[in-house]
Structure 1
Amino acid sequence: MGRLLFQKLGEMWGAQFVIDNRGGAGGTIAAAAVANAERDGYTIMYDATAHSVNPSLYANLPYDTVKDFQAVFLGALITNLLVVNKSVEARSVADVIALAKATPGGLDWASSGNGTVQHLALEMFRYRAGIKLNHIPYRGGGPALNDLIGGQVKFFFSNAAASIGHVRAGTIKCLAHIGRGRLAALPDVPAVEDTLPDFEAYEWQGLFVPAGTPVEIVQKLNAGLNAVLQQPDIAERLKQLNVEFRENTPEEFRVFVAAETEKWGRVVREANIRLG
């Protein structure tokens, strides 16, 4: 997503954005580098949901998530699907809840790894539904999805972009999604919130700059990226990827991130999850 947006923005501005992928520690290594960068607009951070989860997962972050960053732009909302192996007889969220309550020891449920949105979604589902789920963490969504298809695990909240092809092919079953409303790509699939009100767990991506970056730089980046989303080729590509997007301001994105941080902090505390 980041490459797609910034390649187009570079074309529109006649500029070049150099992508520096700094993985590790749930994105905290990259965030620490940006928090300490010059406030000149030349070092920016395109991050994701982990930015709102890490303050609760890690006891000693080398930065303050709120004070050290300025929110600029919400770039993408990506829903996850509640997918199950074809052998599972459940046909709805209510059926899954009933099955979990009737299964001694609870249901084994895959995730893309400890602390990921998929992990937190299953913990929130477990808590809200009042059921027992046994977390089976994988090293990424791909291996989890492969084992779901193979039947080694039966339940998974999967990134829609990765799993929708398998759903359409009938390789796996999709019982619900964990966004709001209906999905354009799967209009007959209900939301989990139809059964558990206000249940929502998006993967999101957005742009941040170091706190103290001049407001005119923040506004220019925000306006530029909003313009990118209005380009027909970008809008069509995002639609193909089942990515939701909307025009937004830095303040709207700041409020969104604050709400996500509060929500995931509550889930982490309730599930007693700790990574460092």
Structure 2
Amino acid sequence: MKFPRRKFLHLAASAVALPAISRLAQAETYPSRPVRIVVGYPPGGVTDIVARLIGPWLSERLGQQFFVENRPGASSNIATAAVVRSPPDGYTFILLSSANSANVTLYDNLNFDLIHDIVPVASIGRDGFVMVVDPSFPTKTVPEFIAYAKTKPGKLNMATSGAGSGSDLYGQLFKVMAAIDLVAVHYRGVANGLQDLLAGRVEVMFLPVATAIGHIQAGRLRPLGVTTTSRRDVLPDVPAIGDFVPGYEATNWEGLGAPVNTSPEIIAIVNSQVNAALADTAFKARLADLGGEPFPSSPADFGKFIAEDTEKWGKVIRAAGIKAD
């Protein structure tokens, strides 16, 4: 379907254009009770970790607890639906990620409309994946892998953490742009695919840097390239895939959203504090440990980014015929 980009941008921009006498009064006392950040995944993943980084920062600066509530399921759609149904009073946020933009195309029957029902608040971080193979695999660089794959069309298996997951989409984009034929093998979650990669039952996988780094450092996986446009601080010797496949970029991102009609003044308060965190040396170092980097923006700019990201992955999903599990 065609993504209604203009409507999303209008929604983001309208956050500063509504009559606000009562909302100004509300913002002056905000927050007056604990605030929840809903995460659509179990504890321990990158999205959850980012939420648990920004929560204490907001708690300390705004004087009330910002606590994380994990509501996993359906690639964060259960959590997003719960936030959509919440009062737009500034006391419920959703930790959005790149999965949300992909879900717009992956799922045909969502019971919410991301464009109309969630307003962008603040982007937080961008992090990359890394293309990895078993150390015994006969290639050590991206160009070598591409050349080898061209001699074995349809015979190399690419593990993913599920149809439409980041590992799947980033691999599908690589396949198309490198003009090679890899067979996507979908697993239920990262752990199962990683297990088969380590055992040599599949040949390649695109993994979050934070997930792969320990195995790379221990010599259990060989990194070929990162999906971001530049090298990651935690993997300084691993080049960007785009250095060899011009134009390739696949970036995972995280940010806060809120129910539509949340006060623009409250959104501005939270956006300002998130951007302050992203300028903090210690906070930036924690993001770097995850293979990420700060991603400051205004609510309107964050909305524009989500629109562009959704459009990009929508094209990949439709071209590859991917359907959610």
- The 8 Å contact of residues 106 and 131 in structure 1, kept in 2 or not, is answered as no
Is 1:247–2:288 an aligned residue pair?
Answer: no
Which stretch of structure 1 is more off in the superposition, 218-227 or 87-96? Answer: 87-96
C-alpha distance 104-208 of structure 1, shift in aligned 2 (>3 A)? closer
Amino acid at match of 1:228: A
Is 1:47–2:96 an aligned residue pair?
Answer: yes
Separation in 2, partners of 1:143, 1:7: 32
Is 1:175–2:235 an aligned residue pair?
Answer: no
**Rg comparison, structure with higher value:** 2
SS in 2 for 1:8: helix
- 1:52 shift after superposition: 0.1
- 1:128 shift after superposition: 1.5
Is 1:25–2:74 an aligned residue pair?
Answer: yes
Between the two proteins, what is the percent identity of the paired residues?
Answer: 38
Relative contact order (alpha carbons < 8 A, sep ≥ 6): 1 or 2 greater? Answer: 1
- The 8 Å contact of residues 119 and 135 in structure 1, kept in 2 or not, is answered as yes
SS in 2 for 1:19: strand
- 1:104 shift after superposition: 4.7
Query: Which residue of structure 2 aligns with residue 64 of structure 1?
Result: 113
Query: Which residue of structure 2 aligns with residue 160 of structure 1?
Result: 209
Query: Which residue of structure 1 aligns with residue 156 of structure 2?
Result: 107
Amino acid at match of 1:32: A
Separation in 1, partners of 2:133, 2:324: 28
When normalised by structure 2's length, the TM-score is 0.81
Query: Which residue of structure 2 aligns with residue 263 of structure 1?
Result: 312
- 1:258 shift after superposition: 0.8
Is 1:229–2:278 an aligned residue pair?
Answer: yes
Query: Which residue of structure 1 aligns with residue 170 of structure 2?
Result: 121
SS in 1 for 2:69: coil
- The 8 Å contact of residues 169 and 316 in structure 2, kept in 1 or not, is answered as yes
- The 8 Å contact of residues 82 and 156 in structure 1, kept in 2 or not, is answered as yes
Query: Which residue of structure 2 aligns with residue 273 of structure 1?
Result: 322
Amino acid at match of 2:63: G
- 1:61 shift after superposition: 1.1
SS in 2 for 1:74: strand
Separation in 1, partners of 2:185, 2:323: 16
What RMSD over aligned residues (CA atoms) do the two structures have, in Å? 1.5
Is 1:141–2:190 an aligned residue pair?
Answer: yes
Separation in 2, partners of 1:104, 1:24: 35
Separation in 1, partners of 2:290, 2:241: 21
Which stretch of structure 1 is more off in the superposition, 255-264 or 100-109? Answer: 100-109
**The one of 52, 59, 62 aligned to 1:13:** 62
**Cα deviation digits, residues 172-193 of structure 1 (max 9, x gap):** 1111010012222222211111
Query: Which residue of structure 2 aligns with residue 220 of structure 1?
Result: 269
When normalised by structure 1's length, the TM-score is 0.95
- 1:79 shift after superposition: 0.5
**Cα deviation digits, residues 148-204 of structure 1 (max 9, x gap):** 222121201011011112212222111101001222222221111112222111111
Structure 1 gap segments, 5+ residues each:
none
Which stretch of structure 1 is more off in the superposition, 197-206 or 216-225? Answer: 197-206
C-alpha distance 104-178 of structure 1, shift in aligned 2 (>3 A)? closer
Separation in 1, partners of 2:266, 2:238: 41
- The 8 Å contact of residues 129 and 207 in structure 2, kept in 1 or not, is answered as yes
Separation in 2, partners of 1:166, 1:18: 31
Separation in 2, partners of 1:230, 1:13: 17
Separation in 2, partners of 1:247, 1:124: 26
SS in 2 for 1:20: strand
Separation in 1, partners of 2:67, 2:154: 50
- 1:26 shift after superposition: 1.3
- The 8 Å contact of residues 134 and 204 in structure 2, kept in 1 or not, is answered as yes
Separation in 2, partners of 1:240, 1:36: 34
- 1:146 shift after superposition: 2.6
Structure 2 gap segments, 5+ residues each:
1-49
